[in-house]
Amino acid sequence: MTIKDFISIIESRIPNSIQESFDNSGIQIGPFNQELRNPLLTLDVSEEVVENALELNSNMIISHHPLFFNSFKSLIIDNTKTKMIQQIFKYGITLYACHTPIDKIEGGMNDYFSQLIGLENLEGIIDSGKREIYKVQVFVPETHKEIIIDKIAEVGGGWIGNYSECTFSSSGIGTFKPHEGTNPYIGKYNEREYVNEVKIETVIPEEQVDMLIREIEKVHPYEEVAMEAFPLDRPVFHHFLCRKGELSDSITLVELIQKLKIKSQQKSIRYNGKDNKIVKRVAVCTGSGASLLKDVLNEDVDVFITGDVGYHDFQFAEENGVSIIEITHNNTEKYFPFVFKDFFKDTNAEFHSHSFSFLKEV
Ligand SMILES: [Fe+2]
């Protein structure tokens, strides 16, 4: 599998198009035209991570946080970031970031952390927008029906809810007449040809339509492929920025905090609210979620767990009867390598993980 092939697979399962407007997920450097070798998964990119990639003979680093996030206007010699970029180019390492798409997607960072801390009856909260869905239909000789359906499945088409590979086939007779300059797979020059064909229909998010068409054209036997793609009226996919769920039993706030200390391996935890307050309904936003506090207050929860919380965020939550429990940014997101790997366990990629974090705690 080449690096480019792997990036196509990543984006068919965790689409870049669902990233937040402030984000910069996707290719950071590259992609270099090589076979994928020992991809290295990490929360952040650092000199230490690049060195680790070189030791592993890896040619791809996949980080949660994009290296290029805030804009910068110069590459100053001897600056740490400049040196890293030089090393990455020198050794031809492709750098890819998978940030807010994997936060939001089902089975991603928010779901993983919510399940880790024992939340049940999980649901997405704070809708971050709908994705338009397209119908794609392709006409193919009966002999090639399975090849096309396999290709649709491979690129991630045909998802409806939790069902994959959804297609519909109907049979009929196709006609065509080859003219000058053609080299038909079936049929003769200047004669009308009748072929038993199948129309295969499927659905796919708008941003993947072009890729699906390109991939079908690669395996379709005809010189000119009859295909149609058009938007459906009914958008079916939603993505949510946070999750909410319930603890299996009602416990006190301080008991929940003690449990979280163990789960997250965080030595001290900041929070607001009475220690003996009974809690059960919990909202979660991995990483930095304080800016979503006002939306979370509409969700009828007792507790909001997130990182990067300011003093006045705690105060505002307190005034509105909700407790914030702060698990630091890196302690909710250090699981990125496990979460990412899980999406691609069916590939033959030999993943490695790096547990670097520049943030320390004593
Ligand atoms: Fe983050």
> How far is Cα 295 from Cα 291, in angstroms, rounded to an integer?
9
Give the type of residue at 217.
E
Question: 26-29 and 94-97 as β-strands: parallel, antiparallel, unpaired?
Answer: antiparallel
Q: 335 alpha carbon to ligand 1 midpoint, in Å?
A: 11
Domains and CATH numbers, the chain: 3-103+336-354 (3.40.1390.30), 123-128+241-327 (3.40.1390.30), 133-234 (3.30.70.120)
CA 168-173-175 angle, 5° bins:
125
Q: 43 alpha carbon to ligand 1 midpoint, in Å?
A: 8
Q: 15 alpha carbon to ligand 1 midpoint, in Å?
A: 18
Q: 208 alpha carbon to ligand 1 midpoint, in Å?
A: 26
**Could you count the other beta carbons within 10 Å of the beta carbon of residue 90?**
9
Who contacts 288 (Cβ-Cβ below 8 Å, separation ≥6)?
A: 306, 307, 308, 329
Query: 323 with 269: CB under 8 angstroms?
Result: no
Q: 220 alpha carbon to ligand 1 midpoint, in Å?
A: 42
Q: 65 alpha carbon to ligand 1 midpoint, in Å?
A: 6
Q: 66 alpha carbon to ligand 1 midpoint, in Å?
A: 9
Q: Which residues surround ligand 1, an ion (CB under 5 A)?
A: 287, 333
- Which residue, among 178, 214, 169, has the nearest Cα to 196 in the 3D structure? 169
Answer left, alpha or beta for residue 244, where phi above 0 means left and psi between -120 and 50 means alpha.
beta
Q: 138 alpha carbon to ligand 1 midpoint, in Å?
A: 41
Q: 200 alpha carbon to ligand 1 midpoint, in Å?
A: 41
- Which residue, among 337, 357, 334, has the nearest Cα to 349 in the 3D structure? 337
Q: Which two tokens stand for residue 54?
A: 């070189």
CA distances from 342 to 90, 123, 339 (A): 30, 20, 5
Q: 111 alpha carbon to ligand 1 midpoint, in Å?
A: 15
Query: 83 with 47: CB under 8 angstroms?
Result: yes
**Could you count the other beta carbons within 10 Å of the beta carbon of residue 4?**
16
Q: 331 alpha carbon to ligand 1 midpoint, in Å?
A: 10
Answer left, alpha or beta for residue 169, where phi above 0 means left and psi between -120 and 50 means alpha.
beta
* Coil, strand or helix at 73: coil
pLDDT in tens, the chain (362 residues): 999 999 989 988 998 878 888 899 999 999 999 999 999 999 999 999 999 999 999 999 999 999 999 877 889 998 999 999 999 999 999 999 999 999 999 999 999 999 999 999 999 999 887 668 899 999 999 999 999 999 999 888 898 766 889 999 999 999 999 999 999 999 999 999 999 999 999 999 888 899 999 999 999 999 999 999 999 876 666 789 999 999 999 999 999 999 999 999 899 999 999 999 999 999 999 999 999 999 999 999 999 999 999 999 999 999 999 999 999 999 999 999 999 999 999 998 999 999 877 888 88
Q: 187 alpha carbon to ligand 1 midpoint, in Å?
A: 57
